[in-house]
Amino acid sequence: MNRIIAAIVLGLLPLATLGAGGGVTPMSANNNLEDNTSLQRGAKVFVNFCMGCHSMGYMRYSRMADDIGLERDLVAQHLMFTTEKIGDPMKIAMRVDDASGWFGVAPPDLSVIARARGVDWLYTYLTTFYADPDPARPFGVNNVMFPDVGMPHVLWPLQGVQSYIKAERPANTVSEQVVRIESDESGFALSTSVTTKDGETAHVTDRLEVTVPGSMTPAEYRKTVRDLVNFLDYAGEPVKLLRFQIGFWALLLLAVFAVAARLLYKEYWRDVH
Ligand code: HEC
């Protein structure tokens, strides 16, 4: 028995270490793959705001339409800007070498980004762009999850522009690291651990706040990003939708079978003493 428990614990260990590291703990995306209207809204945002630069080469328009409950005709009319055939993959026209020239690094294909980065990372990344006046920043923005990112804040018309409001910290601070992010009504609180020259650590709470408003309130924007991340999650593994359903029935079958097996067992052994 002890060995079984040890095996289970050891088996789970990699999960715990996966979650650690990287410094910042991302916020939870809380997305729901079973919410079709959320997936549809997310697809719309993706096509309108992301496909200028990112492709989704493993996904076909037709498959997306069928999976998330959109009419193929409507997708063709409203969501296909870069191609004409509904069966085409969601590719874009930008060439990789052009893109590398413009951005320093080519925007990656986002087909499986949710599996590579995780939904929580994506949600936090897309909500924590902030204005950075440093002339070295090509687009005037930076990002909490992805410091010195090469991507502009393309969703700023919706979110507006956030400022990084620093709390007072010890004068002799030499390094600092955001450890946790939490959203609230007016923006995000960033719990930051700072280290001073004498090697002491202290905790301060900085803030991200919208100082140039966009078309959405902070809460509406977070919801929009949740939809977008939901769509990226679906795209990374389209069969997930089906797998959840199959999984449910498979477990139910096993449960019913276990009861039957138990009854049968009792029946067989009733007369054996
Ligand atoms: C103007 C072009 C452009 C647009 C539009 C754009 N991106 Fe990007 N994106 C980039 C570039 C360039 C990078 C590479 C940044 C780097 O590695 O420093 C990037 C990187 C990313 C990454 C990080 C990939 C990784 O793990 O390294 C994600 C996630 C991402 N983009 C998501 C999005 C989403 C979602 C949208 C739509 C809301 C979007 N992008 C719109 C240019 C763009």
Burial label for 63, CB within 10 Å (0-12, 13-18, 19+), is middle
Share of the chain above pLDDT 90, in %: 73
Residue 58: name the closest of 239, 195, 204 by CA.
239
Q: Model confidence at 12, in pLDDT bands (50, 70, 90)?
A: low
Q: What is the average pLDDT across 53-70?
A: 94
Cα(108) to ligand 1 centroid in Å equals: 7
φ, ψ of residue 124 in degrees (nearest 5): -70, -40
The atom number, within ligand 1, closest to the CA of 106 reads 12
Cα(1) to ligand 1 centroid in Å equals: 49
263: left (phi over 0), alpha (psi -120 to 50) or beta: alpha
Cα(106) to ligand 1 centroid in Å equals: 9
Q: What is the average pLDDT across 115-127?
A: 97
Q: What is the average pLDDT across 94-112?
A: 86
Instruction: Please say if the pLDDT value at position 140 is more than 90.
Output: yes
Which residue type occupies 79? L
**If you average pLDDT over every residue of the chain, what do you get?**
90
Residue whose CA is at the smallest distance from ligand 1 atom 5 = 50
Instruction: Please say if the pLDDT value at position 15 is more than 70.
Output: no
Task: Compare 106 and 97 and report the one with higher pLDDT.
Answer: 106
Instruction: Please say if the pLDDT value at position 152 is more than 60.
Output: yes
Residue to mutate, 41, 48, 53, 233, ligand 1, most ligand atoms under 8 Å from C-beta: 53
Is 152 in contact with 102 (CB distance < 8 Å)? no
